[in-house]
Amino acid sequence: MNIIHTVAELRTQVSCAKAAGKQVGLVPTMGALHEGHASLIRRSVEECGCTVVSVFVNPTQFNDPNDLKNYPRTLEADCALIEALGADIVFAPMAEEMYPEPDTRVFAYPPIDSVMEGARRPGHFNGVCQVVSKLFDMVQPDRAYFGEKDFQQIAVVRAMMKDQGSFELVACPIVRDERGLALSSRNALLSASERLTATAICRTLRESVSFARSLTVKEVIDTVVRRINAVEGMEVEYFQIVNA
């Protein structure tokens, strides 16, 4: 497995793989890898002759400086896991390599990017599009693998891909722990008791599927918000039912 830090070397390695007739799979990550990421990498390895995993904490998608500062960074462990899963290339650039000059591009796909996370994290999806579009351009993948945990992100990237050429975005199922909590790199920032409290989210959402059959949309929303807010330590930021 090759660990690459420059765009030039990445392009060279990918060109060699394509010249050998291999399809290229891209798995974009911000590192601090867990079983959710591993499921994406496994699928790419199964379906593509060459798998590129990017490990880059992208500063332009953070609207909270403390979130960027505290985001877990575990590159050595990440590379060991990626190699064990059979991937071919790790692309782990510095910020200066990805952004040799400020990226002033503006991506807008309303209403997909202007509700939910888009409304509450100004600039987040623009930053996602900036870095993902760069990776797509650098790698020119045949397939790109994203987790459905970030469902709105997938919708935004699909919208962006209409301007990015023809390749396949592969959406992969959410991976959860034994209590139902969706695996997330940021979970490392939670205490054991906080992780236990957070399982109320998945539990309530699953229950809502059944009582949605007999309630109106507003009643479902009110019920979900009320149940989660009733859990000590929890407060709903938003809950919306949308057309996927």
Q: Is residue 124 among the annotated active site residues?
A: no
The phi and psi torsions of 50 (rounded to 5 degrees) equal -140, 125
Out of 5, 34, 37, 124, which one is annotated catalytic?
37
- For residues 53 and 45, what is the distance between their CA atoms, to the nearest angstrom? 11
**Cβ distance 168 to 143 under 8 Å?**
yes
The phi and psi torsions of 140 (rounded to 5 degrees) equal 50, 60
- For residues 143 and 78, what is the distance between their CA atoms, to the nearest angstrom? 21
**Cβ distance 130 to 107 under 8 Å?**
yes
Q: Which of 74, 93, 137 is nearest to 3 (CA)?
A: 93
- For residues 172 and 36, what is the distance between their CA atoms, to the nearest angstrom? 9
**Catalytic site positions:** 37
